[in-house]
């Protein structure tokens, strides 16, 4: 299932716009950083996508990053793989739309690097 497409249709419905294929294709690159079809993850929003969430009243949770944590390519990849709800990254933190994910990230004090490493290690233990 392509979650980005599903979320895009929900957002369009909330904006009282058509959810036909052409409209979805028009808005996906505006709202999502990565428009590739993925079965899991890849739900990073663009600034415009985040503004849409605010306009339609989706509840969000802001988790600040530790001041000494650099945002590296590896951190972005971890987020892409392990954040299963729409999210937006700022210079100071991450904003998520799922309360459970917000609690998980808060338990790691916003250190998404440690969060990603822990998730990757658990995944490798299962595999």
H or E element: which one contains 80?
A: helix 73-82
- Give 25-66 pLDDT, tens digit per residue: 999 999 999 877 766 678 999 999 999 999 999 999 999 988
Greatest alpha-carbon span in the chain: 45
Q: What are the counts of helices (DSSP H) followed by strands (DSSP E) for the chain?
A: 6, 3
Task: Give the global pTM.
Answer: 0.86
β-strand partners of 94: 63, 89
- Give 3-15 pLDDT, tens digit per residue: 899 999 999 999 9
- Give 64-76 pLDDT, tens digit per residue: 988 888 888 888 8
């Amino acid at each position: 299932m392509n979650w980005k497409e599903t979320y895009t249709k929900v957002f369009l419905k909330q904006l009282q716009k058509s959810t036909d294929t052409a409209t979805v294709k028009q808005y996906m690159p505006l709202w999502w950083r990565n428009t590739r079809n993925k079965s899991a993850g890849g739900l990073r929003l663009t600034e415009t996508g985040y503004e849409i969430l605010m306009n339609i009243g989706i509840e969000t949770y802001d988790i600040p990053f530790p001041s000494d944590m650099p945002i590296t390519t590896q951190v972005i990849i971890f987020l892409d793989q392990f954040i299963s709800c729409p999210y937006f990254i700022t210079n100071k933190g991450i904003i998520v739309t799922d309360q459970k994910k917000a609690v998980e990230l808060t338990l790691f004090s916003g250190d998404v690097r440690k969060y990603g490493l822990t998730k990757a290690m658990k995944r490798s233990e299962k595999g």
